[in-house]
Each structure stands twice: as structure tokens, then as C-alpha cells.
């Protein structure tokens, strides 16, 4: 799946050790989509991809994402993980649905009388 938008926040990096003793680290960031009703999505990056992607606030990006839900103690938790960041496609591209006026311009005949 893909998600396009502007990086609006970078949350602090979190790290720890798994049950098996392996070190892990994760950073979450917020992407705001475009369009008439913009949405904010919290996306996480794991491990070496944090340094590899080098995200900055204000950047327009297109992300390759995986969405995964898991159950813990009767509750469900959903995580959106980024595995790819593409900056080239996001530059100059609209990130939401196009404006209706772009495709259709109403004439006087099309306007309703009320």
C-alpha cells in the first residue's frame, strides 16, 4: 500500500531489547494527507531504516506501508509501518483527490434556480 503526504511531526526514538535479547529501535512520525479532508496518520520506522530514510519535518513523501493489527489481552492494536520512502514522486504531486472544479466548470444552464 502507499500513503502520500507531508511529514508534520517526528516523535522521539524508542529502543529496547526483545525477550530473546536482541536490541530494537523504533521512531514514529506523523504524515498529513492532502485533499479537502486531510487525515493525520502515525507511521513507524524500525531499525536501520530510521537513519536510512532521514525524514525531516515539512517533507512531501510517498511511503510504502504495511498495516498490521494484533491482539493483546482482549484488545486490538494496529500499527502502520513504513518500508520505503520515495521523495521524487511526492514533489509537485497533489496528495489528495483532485478538485471537482478542475474537471468540470458549470455553465449558467447547469446552475439550479434555488
Model confidence pLDDT, tens digit, residues 8-48: 999 999 999 988 989 999 999 999 998 899 999 999 999 99
Comparing CA positions, the residue from 93, 87, 89, 84 lying closest to residue 34 is: 93
Overall pTM > 0.85? no
pLDDT confidence of residue 91: 44
Q: What is the CATH number of the domain that holds 101?
A: 2.40.50.140
DSSP state of 82: E
**Structural domain boundaries enclosing 6:** 2-110
Q: Which residue has the higher pLDDT, 56 or 105?
A: 56
Q: Return the CA Rg of the chain.
A: 19
Q: Helices (DSSP H) in 19-108: which residue ranges?
A: 49-53, 100-103
The rounded distance, in Å, linking the Cα atoms of 61 and 90 is 5
Count of domains forming the chain: 1
Amino acid at each position: 500500500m502507499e500513503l502520500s503526504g507531508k511529514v508534520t511531526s517526528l516523535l522521539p526514538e524508542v529502543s529496547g531489547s526483545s525477550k530473546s535479547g536482541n536490541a530494537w529501535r523504533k521512531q514514529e512520525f506523523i504524515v498529513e494527507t492532502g485533499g479537502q479532508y486531510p487525515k493525520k496518520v502515525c507511521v513507524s520506522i524500525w531499525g536501520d531504516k530510521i537513519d536510512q530514510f532521514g525524514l525531516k519535518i515539512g517533507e512531501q513523501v510517498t511511503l510504502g506501508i504495511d498495516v498490521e493489527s494484533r491482539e493483546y489481552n482482549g484488545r486490538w492494536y494496529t500499527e502502520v509501518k513504513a518500508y520505503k520512502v520515495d521523495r521524487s514522486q511526492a514533489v509537485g504531486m497533489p496528495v489528495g483527490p483532485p478538485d471537482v472544479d478542475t474537471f468540470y466548470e458549470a455553465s449558467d444552464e447547469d446552475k439550479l434556480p434555488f
